[in-house]
Amino acid sequence: MTRPAFGARLAAEFAAGRHLCAGIDPHGPLLAGWGVADDADGAERMGRDVVAAAAGVAACVKPQIAFFERFGAAGFAALERVLADAREAGLLVVADVKRGDIGSSFAAYADTWLAPGSPLEADAMTVVAYQGFGTLAGALERVQRDGKGLFVLAATSNPEAAEVQQARRADGRTVAAAMVEDAAAWNAAHASGPVGGVGVVLGATLDLSAFGIDVAVRPDGPALPVLAPGFGHQGARIEDAGRVFGGIGHALLANESRSILNGGPAGLSDRIRERAAAVRFALSGEPA
């Protein structure tokens, strides 16, 4: 491994006061506002503009793969160029791919998104562990061996999530709380630095206590990275990030996508700077 591990790189971002994750979600209507076609070239333009504006300001970018995948091979080629730009800019990339499968197939997804030298290599990926936390083994190996990162869906921001994620397992834990505890336990057993390589996704729109997650309780061991979408367009206010995430908020990546992208390339840098300063202030009380 030539680069510091994902957890160490995240720790450096947090130490520099960077907690914003700028989403790259090339929705058709947003591309119209960009003055480009709803095609792979348009998605690439938006992605590369976001990378340029986010470098040194946001902690990471999060391309949502579905918006590239819909253009087939051309979409993947476009995404490869966006990823290359981000690497060059030194920006962390969370590939929002939400992959999950039986372990043997899941390992191939981990190879795609996390293997060093893969055309689609990112620093971290979003994963789904509803087939059992153990199915993530192939990716957990990449976290340990290659210094990559994972974000396991735990309590997602969409209103339909409650029926599954608030359900109680045979061991009495909610599905969401078990994802958080399993991720924290993995970090406690394997991580060497102050921030673990395995994080969770917790929607910013939620009352996390309804999912059995007590944000006042800091998990033992290395900090648990939390990727929090739901700010901006979905209604959560980034200014409330400290209150919503409490004791687990110190390793927070606050994501906004449409609220940053809406408005096109004009003013993009200002919007990213403004959101980055807002989340920094919300979490630390320190102005940018």
Ligand X SMILES: O=C(O)c1cc(=O)[nH]c(=O)n1[C@@H]1O[C@H](COP(=O)(O)O)[C@@H](O)[C@H]1O
List residues binding ligand X (CB under 6 A): 23, 25, 64, 96, 126, 156-157, 201, 203, 229-230, 232-234, 255-259
Q: How far is the CB of 139 from ligand X (least distance, A)?
A: 15
Which phi and psi angles does 44 have, rounded to 5°?
-65, -45
184 token code pair: 């924290």
- Mapped onto helix, strand or coil, the DSSP state of residue 69 is helix
What is the spatial distance between Cα 205 and Cα 203, in angstroms, rounded to a whole number? 5
Nearer to ligand X, 18 or 99 (CB): 99
Nearer to ligand X, 38 or 256 (CB): 256
In sequence order, which ranges of 70-193 are alpha helices (DSSP H)?
Answer: 72-89, 103-114, 137-146, 162-165, 175-190
Nearest to 153 by CA among 121, 175, 185: 175
Q: How far is the CB of 24 from ligand X (least distance, A)?
A: 8
Nearer to ligand X, 87 or 258 (CB): 258
For residue 242, CA distances in Å to 95, 193, 251 come to 25, 23, 11
Q: How far is the CB of 208 from ligand X (least distance, A)?
A: 12
Task: Please enumerate in sequence order all residues whose Cβ is within 8 A of that of 177, keeping only pairs 6 or more positions apart, or say none.
Answer: 154, 211, 212, 213
Beta partners for residue 200, in sequence order: 152, 226
Q: Which of 70, 87, 98, 273 is catalytic?
A: 98
Q: How far is the CB of 157 from ligand X (least distance, A)?
A: 4
Q: What is the DSSP letter of 244?
A: H
Q: How far is the CB of 256 from ligand X (least distance, A)?
A: 5
Nearer to ligand X, 1 or 71 (CB): 71
Nearer to ligand X, 125 or 191 (CB): 125
Which phi and psi angles does 23 have, rounded to 5°?
-75, 145
Nearer to ligand X, 9 or 99 (CB): 99
Q: How far is the CB of 1 from ligand X (least distance, A)?
A: 25
What is the spatial distance between Cα 7 and Cα 5, in angstroms, rounded to a whole number? 5
Let me know: does 283 contact 249? Beta carbons within 8 Å: yes
Sign of CA dihedral 234, 28, 66, 75: negative
- Mapped onto helix, strand or coil, the DSSP state of residue 270 is helix
Give catalytic status of residue 98 as yes or no.
Answer: yes
Active site positions, annotated: 98
